[in-house]
Each structure stands twice: as C-alpha cells, then as structure tokens.
A and B are shown apart, each in its own frame.
Chain A
Amino acid sequence: MLAQQIVSGLATGSLYALTAIGIVLIFRNTRTINLAQGDFSMIGAFVALVILEHSGGSLVVATLVTIVAVTALAVVVERLIMRPIEGSDWLTLFTATLGVFYILHGVAGWIWGRDTKSFPALFSSAPLSIGGTLISQAHLFNILVAAVVGGILYLFFRFTKPGIAMRAITEDPVAAQLMGIPVRSIVLLTWAVGGVLAAISGILLAPLVYVSTQMMDGVLVKGYVGAVFGGLYSLPGAVIGSLIIGVAENLAGGYLGAQYKVTIAFVLIVLVLALKPRGLFGGKARREI
C-alpha cells in the first residue's frame, strides 16, 4: 500500500516536474514567471483530442501535431506579447503572462466549450505487478516519459551549443551578447522548449483527468511550487521538488483524506520559503542584469 502510494505519487510528481522545468527554463532566462505554462498544456490536450478524432485514433500523429501546435503557440506568445516588453521589471512580465493565462482560458472555452471531455485511455486499466507492488500502466508510462525527457534535456544542456548558450544566458546575458550569442533567438528557443514540455505533459495528463479549460490549473500551481524548491533556478531542484510534492500529496490523500492533497503542497512551499528562501538547491548568488 505504501509503495503503491509512493509510486503513484512519483507519477503525479513527474507531470508536475514537466511543468516545473518549463517554468524554470523560461524564468531563468527571461525573469518571467510564466503563468501560461499550464495553459499551453491545456491547449495541447484539446488539440490532441481533436487530432485523435480526425486521424482515426493514431496517438503518434496526435502527439506530433500537438507538439508542433503548442510549440508554435509558445513562440507566438514570446514574439507578440513578451518580446515587446522584454527588459521590463518582473511584475510587468508576470502580469503579461497572467493576461495570456486568461486569454488562453477564454479562447479554449470559446472554441471547445466549457464542458469537460474525456480523453481515451492510452493503456488498459489493469495494473502491472512489479515485485508485489501494483502499478498502473499509465503511471509507469508517465514516469518513463518524464525520465526520458529529463535525460534528453540533460544531454541538450550538457553537450549542444544552443543548450550551453541557454545556461550562459542564465549566468550573464550581457556577457553572452558580447560573445556573439544571439540572445533573442535563444530566448525564443527557450519558450519553444517550454512549449514542447507543455505539449507532452498535456497529453500525459489528459487521460488521467477530464479535458477542460481548468484541467491544468492545479498542476500549474504545484509545478510552480516544485520550481520554487529549486529556487526557480535549479532544474534538478525543480524535479526533486515536484516529486516530493507528488508523493507528499498522495500520502496525505491516502492517509489523511483527499481534502489535504492541495494543502500539503502549500505547507511544503511555506516550509521551503521559511527555511531556505533561495530553494533547497539555491544558495548560489546570481548576477543581476
């Protein structure tokens, strides 16, 4: 029972982690707390649903189209809304993403309606038994996909030129410019990566909940809390924070009652902020621009 709770907590946590990573990537290169990160996933879930209906149920086609569509959406948001106000103070940037949040909620409601829609399950509901622990196939799949995404991101940041450039911009955007790094293009790429992550998490979450305009609201908050664990800066910190939240809320839900699920995330965030304001993995001074 406990092992099961922990595994399904890790599965939920890995979905939070995809959102948390998106939030951290965009924040540390642009100082923008992107409230629309969850909406990118929500739009993605609707797009995937539409494509599934029109492609005869091909999940591969739906996934690819969704990734392209959500990435394009993120790019459009950067170019049309965020770029014109680049360099503004964080509150202006934050408020702009709040605007995007409401606009996307409104647009999705207008196109697809306010009703919840069910997304076809990707796996049978029969759980697998691994070492005596029953694990839902969907949960296992989510953990695997998140792990693969994490691995790809690690390689990207470690070995590729644009990946290292993203880290360089995080460290010192002015020095990055002086080295000939096209900072604006890399920032656009950062938003695009955020879009890819959002598309994946939207498709993974959709079968577990109903598709609706609010489907991501809770995930956004928990992904944000996960990101704060890493000081909105550290990617491993954000991942571990998200997993801790996923497990903690599952345990709280299982042992204390479902109404404590949301509370636990906030108890954790208050604890982190009180004890380690820069995040569990922070403590590293950043150069202000």
Chain B
Amino acid sequence: MLSLEAVEVGYGQIKALKGITLRVSDGQIVALLGANGAGKTTALRAISGLLRTSAGSISVDAVRLDRLAPEEIVRRGVVQVPEGRRVFAGLSVLENLRMGAYCRDGSIADDLERVYRYFPVLGQRRRQAGGSLSGGEQQMLAIGRALMARPKVLLLDEPSLGLAPKLVAEILKIIRTINADGVTVLLVEQNAYQALSIAHYSYVLRVGRVVLEGTAEELKDRNDVVRSYLGRQAAG
C-alpha cells in the first residue's frame, strides 16, 4: 500500500500541497482528480522524490520514501509515467525501454516481451527514435518504459492528455489490463469522467487539499459536486 499522511510540499514560499492524506491499496486503481494547478503533479513529484516534503510522510508497505533519492524509490517499486510523456526522443524505442529497466540486473527479455504484448506497435518500431513516434505511441512507450522497472505501484500523470478520444479509451483499457495483471495504479487525471470509469477509489484535489473522496459510484452520484470542483467540461 502506498500512503501519504498529511503531506506538505512547497515551491519556495508557495505551498502547493497543504497537508494531503491519501491511500492506494494493493491491486487498486486510485484516481487523483483536480483542475489545473490543484497540485496533482506536485503530489506525484513528491512521491517520486523529485520534490522534498516539508511535513508529513510518504511510505510504501511501511517503508518511508520521503527521504530517498528518486532511483531508490524506483528500486522500491514505485515508478512514474510523467506528465507530457517525456520519452527520450533521440534514443530508440528499445533504448528507451532498456533505460526503464536501469535499476535491474539480469535479463530483460521477458519484460520486453510483456511490453510488446501490451503495445505491439512498440515491437514493430523498436529501432525507431522515440521522438519519431506519434503522440499516442509515445504515451505507450512512456508506460512501457515504466513497466520495464517491474513496478508494484505505477503513477500515471495525465496519460490521456492531448490524445484523440479513441486513443484515450485504448490507453485506459490497457491501464486496466496492467492493473488486472497485478500492478497497483495511481492515476492522475483532469478528465474525471474517464478516470472514474476505471478507478476503484478517487480523491479530488483543490488548491493543495483533498476536498472529496470516495468510490467511483459515490462520486458519480455526486456529479454536481465533482463538477463544481473540476470545472464543467472536465466532468464530462
């Protein structure tokens, strides 16, 4: 289980997270929702060790993460697919995937096979530069690259951003499959409707605080509330 307890994170004087508590139980998909600037990316960056917390704690299976270096957090099975995909544009697809497995020794053949099974297009393009892929393919590569680390918990920051609706549906379907194969998922989205459709439990952030949480059904029943926090179009 990944848990955040009263976590505070600031950029200089500005507090972007003002004490948020959330739990991601093993085997679940948990959605973290919120409008622009709510602090979703900040939360993921803190979990991955890119930002330091000023208060509170972050832990996975009772191991504190919040003072570890990013690579140590990856080694403990918490891996992020960052906002904007950030594939290594000048590296080939295969090299990108190899970098995903950086923290692991030994053969990566089985993992490559698994990633190519989820995303056959990556197998076909393995020699192509990451930057030459389409937006949707780059998102697949970003997810595949993270899977190469064999994550226990996968953090996804707006994987649907900028993708055509058909691709969004496809990505969500694959996230569900990855979860069914045993990976716990923390999914950050602005597009609440899409995220709620696959999440077991959700949190809604607003300017650095959790203002609402519940199962997808509970939040869907309170669509009006979700809508008021997320903005109209976001709730679909």
Contact = CB atoms under 8 A, between A and B. Distances in A.
Interface residues of B, number: 26
A172 B142 CA distance: 13
Contacts of A284: 90
Contacts of A182: 69, 71
Interface stretch (B96-104, B113-121, B163-171): B96-104
B149 A180 contact: yes
A287 B86 CA distance: 10
Contact of B149 (A161, A165, A167, A179): A179
Contacts, number: 68
A7 to B, nearest CB: 34
Interface of B: 48-50, 69-71, 74-75, 79-80, 82, 86-91, 95, 98-100, 102-103, 145-146, 149
B71 A177 contact: yes
Interface residues on A, range: 10 to 19
Contacts of A174: 50, 82, 86
A177 B149 CA distance: 13
B86 A168 contact: no
Contacts of B98: 161, 164
B71 A180 contact: yes
B79 A178 contact: yes
A109 to B, nearest CB: 40
Contacts of A177: 48-50, 70-71
Question: Interface majority SS on A: helix, strand, loop or mixed?
Answer: helix
B93 to A, nearest CB: 13
Given A164-B95, A175-B82, A180 B103 contact: yes
Nearest to A162: B102
A179 B102 contact: yes
B88 A168 contact: yes
Contact of B50 (A161, A171, A178, A179): A178
A177 B102 CA distance: 10
Given A179-B74, A182-B71, A165 B102 contact: yes
Contacts of B82: 174-175, 178
B79 A180 contact: yes
Contacts of A65: none
Given A178-B48, A178-B74, A178-B82, 13 more contacts: A164-B91, A165-B102, A170-B90, A171-B88, A171-B89, A177-B70, A178-B70, A178-B79, A179-B79, A179-B102, A180-B75, A180-B103, A180-B149
Interface string A161-193: 100110110111011111111110000000000
B79 A172 contact: no
Interface of A: 161, 164-165, 167-168, 170-172, 174-183, 284
B50 A181 contact: no
A182 B71 CA distance: 6
Contacts of A178: 48, 50, 70, 74, 79-80, 82, 86
A123 B171 CA distance: 64
A170 B95 CA distance: 14
Contacts of A161: 98, 102
A165 B86 contact: no
A174 B98 CA distance: 17
A16 to B, nearest CB: 25
Nearest to A184: B69
Nearest to B75: A180
Nearest to B94: A164
Given A174-B50, A175-B82, A178-B79, A164 B99 contact: yes
